[in-house]
Structure 1
């Protein structure tokens, strides 16, 4: 977007004794770049689509006055022999350092008003260079994406006078950054994204490998951008993590997400001050799991009764920040705090994938979500609170067609291979292979307790009795007689079903009062941060040949 020409200033006379004139030339270019040209078609199009301009986005995301630009005059100045600097066509990527709650980050932001944000409009690999800076400085990297398709425009062929073999546009550097620092993306237009956390804005952003004109030519599908890759598609298939209602909402979610993570894999997550006492006991937890096993309950309410009531900048009434609520819905994942210490939350939603006894059965998408979240927490050293109510893998023709077992194997592998500490609380069901993987994720070495509502086995009793006593049940002769026999068999098994019987044989280490859950996990996480995570951090530093340095302790206040 050619910048406004209203900032021309008369240049001072140069007597050859100072560097003021060259500095003023630089400042003149910066003034042009920092002010939008409201008559430019690119800027007009941006505003017509109800989008913020690139520098408005940066200001909305970062702490006030904290942005320090890198490459502030990257672009093409347009000069007049008599009048000097007339206008400026900047690169379509704005990059620089900034702060979020006084914590250093690096930002790369697309300027869609310049050549639609295409990679071909970039100069000197400016954005990938910024990603390298973030990785080397060991600070979070934030991408504000609007048009970063990684491709470009065929018009570039005419400018170059030739076509060219497409490069990866710095993809290798992006992969390097992902290995070291948190990478988050706000999708603010037509884009592609590779990051640890991505948030898509309703009605504003789309994600696809190729846009509608290319798709129409290749597949004969005549689709709008929204129909091809809008939020309703990608927020339900797991391509993006969260959905935002506005750009400002997306920035708030990014700030919240980063508040739980360390600045790099070599540091500990930032710990905040909390006003919520560790010894808080919630009476409601004693009744939240229904005595009738087929009845559902609100798992998010249960989580919020355990974790800190403060400490989430996105939701002031709970520290729980959910990730991926719109996809893989049988599994619930997110971050929370316990007396200020960040933790990952992994659990199930018994209201999803229904059936009298199979609600929350883990399907293909739920398995993918589990593996992705565990990998994220393991990579950045967040201990996990694992709240188990897992009836097993989803069954039936749809489950088989979507390769539930294959994706389930990946989830089980992620559980077993995790090196971060995990505290497991069995809330209710743990059946079959999937139940075993969640209830005993590291093969007997995990810290584990159960609530008195625990219910486990190779099969749920209701379905297991149907299989084991099928001939007797089928031979009863009438539905009434069949139901009577079924109830008699259930009553026969009910006594051995009690979790107390399992505890008598040390098959479960401890059955706790649900009201004691918060005090116990708070004590555990304090020990983890004080004794276990520093060792893991030191091991990572040694593995990468780095000198050990102090990790973050109690950090900024929210």
Structure 2
């Protein structure tokens, strides 16, 4: 006797699973410009590497002879794969089966994927396209009772934030648990005009008096600009490429070190344009991304969070092949002042780098926390203190390049100054407890008013204090450790990352990444 008939039955069920929700739902999915879950997995995984788990799980109906009459697969596909050569776990919603809702799911699949990634220390990629929560009220027809809410496996979701890289792609309307899974990530991406993220959709919003579309409620212009997601791209293909890029800078888990790639750039390269990239008037803005690109390995800068907290640029890069975290003040936005959302961005990025052991390079240009009623209303004081706490709690080495301004509490949070200061200052550096501009007139109001020639007296005061704020005066007192030629920045950073590599250790931090 052979087991061939059982294998034939297995293959039959596998073919049924590959049909997903059926021809009509699949056609609707594609008519919306969306890929199916199986197409998405094929795109994000290295060719031929996906090993599916629980492929034939779903809901079957049987006739009186106990022969299967119909089969609807579970609306989540999970498995292991290689992504950019690294082993990872993938779990993806199938919107063709009841819109990815929980009443068509087998929740154990999601929990298993999260748990497997955690226990086997594998990066996790979620392809989110559906609610994944309570589903439709029609479920009460089959099970006429309510329940006290629980979220099975959420302990793994939270614990994973301190153990493994977690990436979530919003690839359709993501509500409830779907939205929660997008938010509980180290890196998240939306596809413009294709995906939305919200606590509950337009029908629920209408019940509280808000008549809005899905895009108006949770489109990328809202969620990428408030920091709920980190990136918004034009196509699903771009989203899959972002996954590969993001993971390439990180270890598979906190128990490993991020991989150094073979250097392809001259460690001693000096970029001549850095000598005059910062205007000498101290006011005209410059483009910090040009400074970053000049100092890191060519083409290696990967920006994160470009749509929000715009007074600070954050991302990853490589220096002589070593992955590093990047922070840079952007004077094009409030002169680089830290707003409430910029402070949240600082917290998120410093935590990310600290969790996965990436040294941080901070190109400093910060006139302090943003001032005014608008910013106080947004909670800049509390959030600013939290941002400072994140910087002080981080254990990874930080190198500060003081490009221009460093004022007040926010300016002091360029690094943890209680640790060895690895810091280089450009001649354009301008620092203090508060800017002198405006302060001179206030401090010398009486003397100015009594002077024979107030304008000449004020001019003399400005010349005096201009000399006092010279960075060389600060360096004389060893309060600025080194003033360097801006063109020497890259070689200095190469030296820094090699020394940082000596002291960075793998392992879980005492505090986990905060979603």
Shorter-chain TM-score bucket reads over 0.9
Change (3 A) 1:387 1:79: same
Q: Quick check: 1:204 aligned with 2:218?
A: no
Aligned-pair CA distance for 1:409: 0.5
2:318 corresponds in structure 1 to: 337
Aligned-pair CA distance for 1:281: 0.8
2:444 corresponds in structure 1 to: 469
Stretch moving more, 380-389 or 171-180: 171-180
Aligned-pair CA distance for 1:38: 5.7
Change (3 A) 1:451 1:189: same
Aligned-pair CA distance for 1:285: 1.0
1:238 corresponds in structure 2 to: 227
CA contact (8 A) 1:421 1:446 kept: no
Separation in 1, partners of 2:406, 2:393: 20
Separation in 1, partners of 2:292, 2:134: 43
Aligned-pair CA distance for 1:279: 0.9
Q: Quick check: 1:65 aligned with 2:48?
A: yes
CA contact (8 A) 2:343 2:380 kept: yes
Say which of 116, 121, 129 aligns to 1:133: 116
DSSP 3-state at the match of 2:437: helix
TM-score (norm 1): 0.87
Separation in 1, partners of 2:195, 2:456: 57
DSSP 3-state at the match of 1:528: helix
Say which of 278, 282, 294 aligns to 2:267: 278
Say which of 519, 524, 527 aligns to 2:491: 519
Separation in 2, partners of 1:295, 1:482: 28
Q: Quick check: 1:250 aligned with 2:239?
A: yes
Say which of 84, 93, 98 aligns to 1:115: 98
1:301 corresponds in structure 2 to: 290
1:556 corresponds in structure 2 to: none
Q: Quick check: 1:24 aligned with 2:8?
A: yes
TM-score (norm 2): 0.94
Which whole-Å deviations, capped at 9, do the CAs of 1:197-241 have from their partners, x for residues lacking one?
Answer: 111111011111111111211x11111111111111111111111
Aligned-pair CA distance for 1:540: 3.9
Q: Point out where structure 2 has 5 or more consecutive residues left out of the alignment.
A: none
Separation in 2, partners of 1:401, 1:475: 40
CA contact (8 A) 2:259 2:323 kept: yes
Separation in 2, partners of 1:391, 1:88: 63
Which whole-Å deviations, capped at 9, do the CAs of 1:25-79 have from their partners, x for residues lacking one?
Answer: 1111112212456632x22321121100000011111111111001111112355
1:383 corresponds in structure 2 to: 359
The equivalences for 1:127-206 within 5 A come to: 127-191=110-174, 192=179, 193=182, 194-206=184-196
DSSP 3-state at the match of 1:276: coil
Aligned-pair CA distance for 1:254: 1.2
CA contact (8 A) 1:29 1:77 kept: no
Q: Quick check: 1:262 aligned with 2:251?
A: yes
Q: Quick check: 1:500 aligned with 2:472?
A: yes
Separation in 2, partners of 1:460, 1:521: 29
The equivalences for 1:437-456 within 5 A come to: 437-438=413-414, 440-456=415-431
Aligned-pair CA distance for 1:475: 6.6
1:349 corresponds in structure 2 to: 330
Aligned-pair CA distance for 1:85: 5.1
